[in-house]
């Protein structure tokens, strides 16, 4: 009876394994598959025109039951996302990953579907970087399709950047214009690389290359080195000529920033505006008084886009004069929107990659170059004007090109423009083009500082094709440039600098605190050109191009907003989506969808290829082997 009881147990185990599919332990060097059938996975959609919002945005709408069903299986059922004219669909996918992040070696994103891509647009696959935080491009297809295509994109480095603390990973799809921007600058603090800024904004043609200066708020020395990364993440080609690092010491209690020309100024007593209103007269003081997540931006719902005046928006700031006018400095923290970045891509779609000779004429013909430059500098940058008592006097065009993080900006004010007991400044740009987080004025006296300029001591460029040393190409302004395409990066190291005790003695003798603050700035000289992925009828589009260059009031804004001429809508067809997670350790939770549904327990008993490493399973197998060798 005793043996019969054990046989009953054995049979029960056998039928449980055979019919219910007890999963085998996952082997090392395996792959788990997640799709919209997987636990806690979901999908969302929205219609937009000016960039993909973060996964946490309330703009996303969860798929309905039928929409989820259509995207859960590779079959004849598809979701058809038909966007209205001048808009396109964004799709968001969330997957709950069970593997330990430290075990994962590769992440694949597999999307099956197609897009007819009307109006020069592109199908772009995205992944959310939780640390930046920002969307990163995985790949772009700008060829119209009429049947299912399989797009597989892979990531095999910095994988911890893409899976949050709850185990979620987010992918996105957009059928809109591909953003063009600038190379991204990251600094290392000993644990993470943090996005700081973008290099040489608005240098969209070689004759316009210049040197930008970026504050590196997160940079820290690690083992005697300052480490940075320069990455090319968007659909463009960048050309970097020189990189240098400024290490600047100044007294505690002061800040320091460069203007656009690279002149450094100290800030000791910034004051907020006593009045800050938008062009509708609405008070915006609370949104721009602190460096936080509360920022001012245009609200299209409040604009009457049939009026030229409502195609532009901005802020009017009024500051009291609290010090000498010759010390006046405006300090801003702001960034451009995806709309402004996509506007340049939309302009290039008028030219097309089949008319590269026209682009060459832009760079080599002084007349054409001047036309383009006047147009870009008038319609692109944030325009700054000062009230002279009778009218607004334009004083500067602020090259704010950062689309991912707020950029620190300083503008030295000409004292001849200041009269009376207050100063009024107007900041103006295309509607929806800019976000402003902080605005202040500083009249404090300059404080002493010491600047050390460093060239990189180590460089390594990584591309899909090769790894190379580019040190000699980045130390001088010359004809040697480092070209980067989408997905390329440059790792940089600079030697840590000791403190200068003579400088410390100098500031102490002048009555400053003996504590010194150290600030870092990266100088980057170069230029870039957004990739053009469509063919175009240049002769047909030339009247539009010439109207843009003519600076006809309001035309650029109407064209970029899609108001000047209706573009046909496009439709995106979605069939199936999954992510594949490769790992090199035993995974704690197998992926049930891809495990065999029969014979698992029996294979444990008979299949030596399972490489059982668990003492528990070895004892179970030995136990049943012993039973088989005994008589009942």
Do 398 and 461 share a domain, yes or no? no
pLDDT tens, residue by residue, 87-128: 778 999 999 999 999 999 999 999 999 987 765 577 889 999
Q: Is the pLDDT of residue 326 over 80?
A: yes
Do 57 and 112 share a domain, yes or no? yes
Q: Is the pLDDT of residue 621 over 50?
A: no
pLDDT tens, residue by residue, 364-410: 888 888 888 899 899 989 999 999 888 999 999 998 877 778 999 99
Structure tokens at 338: 């995806």
Do 38 and 9 share a domain, yes or no? no
Please check whether residue 329 lies inside any domain of the structure.
yes
> How many CB atoms within 10 Å of residue 108?
17
pLDDT tens, residue by residue, 332-357: 999 988 788 778 878 888 888 888 78
Do 40 and 166 share a domain, yes or no? yes
Do 148 and 192 share a domain, yes or no? no
pLDDT tens, residue by residue, 5-61: 444 444 444 444 434 444 444 445 789 999 999 999 999 999 876 668 889 888 899
Q: Is the pLDDT of residue 148 over 50?
A: yes
Do 40 and 73 share a domain, yes or no? yes
CA distance 414 to 433: 27
Radius of gyration of the chain (CA): 30
Q: Are 566 and 118 in contact (CB under 8 A)?
A: no
pLDDT tens, residue by residue, 183-224: 999 999 999 899 899 999 888 888 889 999 999 999 999 999
Please check whether residue 180 lies inside any domain of the structure.
no
pLDDT computed for residue 567 by the predictor:
53
pLDDT computed for residue 141 by the predictor:
80
Burial (CB count within 10 angstroms: exposed 0-12, middle 13-18, buried 19+), residue 116: middle
DSSP 8-state class, residue 117: -
Domain of residue 58, CATH code: 2.60.120.260
Structure tokens at 243: 């990189």
Q: Are 24 and 603 in contact (CB under 8 A)?
A: yes
Structure tokens at 166: 């709850």
Please check whether residue 261 lies inside any domain of the structure.
no
Strand partners of residue 264: 258
pLDDT computed for residue 8 by the predictor:
46
Please check whether residue 264 lies inside any domain of the structure.
no
**Domain boundary pick from 411, 443, 475:** 443
Q: Is the pLDDT of residue 437 over 90?
A: yes
**Domain boundary pick from 443, 465, 497:** 443
pLDDT computed for residue 16 by the predictor:
43
> How many CB atoms within 10 Å of residue 416?
9
Do 109 and 34 share a domain, yes or no? yes
Of the chain, the percentage scoring pLDDT greater than 70 comes to 84
Query: Among the listed ranges 50-59, 132-141, 562-571, which one has the minimum average pLDDT value?
Result: 562-571
Comparing 115 with 1, which gets the higher pLDDT? 115
Look up the domain containing 488 and give its range: 185-251+450-529
Please check whether residue 590 lies inside any domain of the structure.
no
Structure tokens at 249: 């010491």
Alpha carbon distances (Å) from 627 to 16, 18, 616, 620: 19, 20, 17, 11
Do 284 and 431 share a domain, yes or no? yes
Number of structural domains the chain divides into: 4
Do 301 and 394 share a domain, yes or no? yes
Q: What is the mean pLDDT of the chain?
A: 84
Please check whether residue 560 lies inside any domain of the structure.
no
Can you tell me the mean pLDDT for 71-96?
Answer: 88
Q: Is the pLDDT of residue 304 over 70?
A: yes
CA distance 434 to 295: 10
Do 314 and 388 share a domain, yes or no? yes
Please check whether residue 323 lies inside any domain of the structure.
yes
pLDDT computed for residue 18 by the predictor:
39
Q: What's the full length of the chain, in residues?
A: 632
Do 159 and 193 share a domain, yes or no? no
Structure tokens at 99: 């593997």
Q: Is the pLDDT of residue 75 over 60?
A: yes
pLDDT tens, residue by residue, 412-435: 999 999 988 999 999 999 998 999
Number of H helices, E strands in the chain: 11, 34
For residue 381, report the phi and psi dihedrals to the nearest 5 degrees. Answer: -65, 160
Please check whether residue 473 lies inside any domain of the structure.
yes
Q: Is the pLDDT of residue 243 over 80?
A: yes
DSSP 8-state class, residue 540: H
Domain of residue 351, CATH code: 2.60.120
pLDDT tens, residue by residue, 161-185: 899 999 999 999 987 665 666 899 9
Alpha carbon distances (Å) from 216 to 132, 196, 247, 250, 257: 14, 6, 10, 15, 11
Do 92 and 192 share a domain, yes or no? no
Alpha carbon distances (Å) from 243 to 307, 460, 470, 492, 529: 45, 13, 11, 9, 19
| 229: three-class secondary structure by DSSP | strand
pLDDT tens, residue by residue, 584-618: 865 455 444 433 323 333 333 334 333 333 444 44
């Amino acid at each position: 009876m005793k043996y019969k009881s054990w046989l009953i147990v054995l049979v029960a185990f056998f039928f449980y394994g055979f019919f219910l599919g007890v999963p085998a332990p996952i082997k090392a060097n395996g792959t788990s598959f997640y799709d919209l059938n997987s636990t806690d996975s979901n999908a969302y959609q929205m219609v937009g025109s000016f960039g993909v919002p973060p996964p946490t945005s309330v703009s996303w709408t969860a798929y309905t039951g039928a929409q989820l069903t259509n995207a859960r299986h590779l079959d004849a059922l598809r979701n058809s996302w038909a966007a209205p004219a001048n808009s396109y669909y964004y799709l968001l996918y969330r997957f709950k990953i069970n593997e330990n992040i430290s075990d994962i070696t590769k992440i694949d994103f597999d999307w099956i579907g197609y897009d007819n891509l009307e109006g020069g647009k592109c199908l772009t696959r995205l992944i959310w970087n939780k640390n930046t935080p920002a969307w990163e491009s995985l790949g772009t297809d700008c060829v119209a399709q009429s049947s299912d295509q399989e797009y597989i994109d892979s990531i095999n480095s910095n994988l911890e950047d893409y899976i949050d603390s709850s185990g979620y990973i987010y992918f996105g799809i957009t059928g809109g214009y591909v953003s063009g921007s600038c190379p991204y600058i990251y600094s290392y603090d000993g644990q993470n690389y943090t996005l700081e800024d973008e290099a040489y904004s608005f240098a969209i043609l070689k004759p316009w290359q210049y040197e930008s200066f970026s504050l590196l708020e997160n940079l820290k020395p690690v083992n005697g080195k300052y480490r940075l990364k320069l990455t090319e993440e968007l659909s463009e080609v960048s050309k970097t000529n020189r990189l240098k690092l400024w290490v600047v010491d100044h007294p505690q209690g002061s800040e320091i920033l460069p203007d656009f020309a690279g002149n450094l100024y100290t800030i000791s007593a910034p004051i907020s505006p006593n009045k800050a209103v938008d062009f509708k007269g609405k008070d915006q003081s609370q949104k721009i008084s602190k460096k936080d997540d509360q920022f001012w931006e245009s609200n299209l719902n409040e604009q009457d886009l049939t009026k030229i005046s409502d195609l532009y928006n901005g802020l009017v700031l009024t500051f009291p004069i609290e010090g000498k006018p010759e010390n006046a400095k405006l300090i801003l923290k702001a960034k451009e929107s995806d709309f402004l970045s996509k506007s340049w891509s939309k302009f290039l779609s008028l030219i097309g990659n089949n008319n590269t000779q026209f682009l060459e004429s832009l760079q080599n013909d002084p007349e054409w170059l001047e036309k383009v430059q006047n147009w870009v500098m008038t319609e692109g940058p944030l325009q700054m004007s000062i009230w002279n008592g009778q009218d607004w006097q334009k004083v500067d065009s602020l090259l704010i090109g950062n689309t991912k993080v707020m950029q620190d900006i300083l503008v030295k004010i000409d004292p001849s423009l200041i009269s009376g007991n207050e100063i009024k400044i107007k900041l103006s740009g295309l509607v929806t083009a800019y976000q402003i987080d902080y605005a202040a004025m500083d009249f404090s006296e300059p404080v002493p500082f010491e600047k050390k300029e460093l060239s990189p001591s180590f460089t390594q460029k990584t591309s899909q094709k090769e790894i190379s040393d580019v040190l000699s190409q980045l130390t001088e302004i010359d004809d040697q440039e480092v070209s980067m395409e989408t997905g390329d990066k440059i790792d940089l190291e600079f030697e840590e600098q000791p403190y200068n005790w003579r400088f410390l003695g100098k500031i102490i003798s002048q009555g400053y605190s003996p504590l010194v603050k150290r600030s870092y700035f990266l100088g980057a000289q170069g230029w870039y050109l957004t990739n053009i992925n469509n063919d175009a009828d240049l002769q047909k589009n030339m009247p539009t191009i010439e109207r843009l260059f003519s600076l006809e009031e309001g035309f650029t804004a109407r064209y970029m907003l899609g108001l000047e001429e209706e573009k046909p809508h496009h439709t995106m067809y979605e069939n199936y989506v999954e992510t594949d997670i490769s790992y090199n350790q035993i995974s704690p939770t197998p992926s049930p969808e891809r495990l065999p549904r029969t014979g698992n327990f029996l294979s444990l008993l008979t299949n030596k290829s399972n490489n059982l490493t668990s003492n528990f399973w070895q004892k179970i197998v030995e136990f049943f082997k012993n039973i088989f060798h005994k008589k009942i």
